[in-house]
Structure 1
């Protein structure tokens, strides 16, 4: 797995995101290579997580294809081309069940991601 993907997981972890998971969808999707999924505990927290990811991408000269700029969402994305960060409220994560839609993808847990 690419270091930038692990670093994004670390950025989210450092901002107290919950239940961080990375799905390697390269073999099961033509959309992207990785989904980085995390849960926020409030709307301001979700915005802070999004902004932290955007700041990391900018500092590391990584592309941003699209990101949600609005407020009041249960699901926000930051599209970096070869990865998409999905930030959910607890309600949104349960409702959309993104991980359930990609059961064939290799899954990395927070513990695996933050080693080393």
Structure 2
């Protein structure tokens, strides 16, 4: 849990919008936590992605995959037990991960 709090601090410093953490441990998903946030522009999405990737690397946390492109409505950073989803406002509404996983607990 401590790593999640520190990750959220990093994302909040970069002004992530409406960040939530879903507890995925009781689901069939191989991740323990989904971190979901909204960015206000493509530049903001890239900034958040880069900060999250840097955070995981600096903390010697497993980093399996992250989207390197630009112009998407959804960027993913897969760190094994923690998967970070960064959306545009439109993407977050359209994909509605929080609605899809509404039966999971929101930790933050």
Report the counterpart of residue 86 of structure 1 in structure 2: 85
Unpaired segments ≥5 residues, structure 1: 110-116
2:44 counterpart of 1:45:
yes
Report the counterpart of residue 114 of structure 1 in structure 2: none
Aligned residue pairs, count = 108
CA distance in 1, matches of 2:94, 2:30: 21
Task: Give the structure-1-normalised TM-score.
Answer: 0.90
CA distance in 1, matches of 2:15, 2:47: 10
Report the counterpart of residue 70 of structure 2 in structure 1: 71
Are the counterparts in 2 of residues 34 and 83 from structure 1 also a CA contact under 8 Å?
yes
Are the counterparts in 2 of residues 28 and 104 from structure 1 also a CA contact under 8 Å?
no
1:18-60: per-residue Cα shift (whole Å, max 9, x none)? Answer: 0000000110233210000000000000000000001111111
Question: RMSD across aligned C-alpha pairs, in angstroms?
Answer: 0.8
Task: Give the structure-2-normalised TM-score.
Answer: 0.96
Report the counterpart of residue 107 of structure 1 in structure 2: 106
CA distance in 1, matches of 2:42, 2:107: 26
2:54 counterpart of 1:55:
yes
Unpaired segments ≥5 residues, structure 2: none
Report the counterpart of residue 20 of structure 1 in structure 2: 19
Moved runs in structure 1, 4+ residues, more than 2 A?
A: none
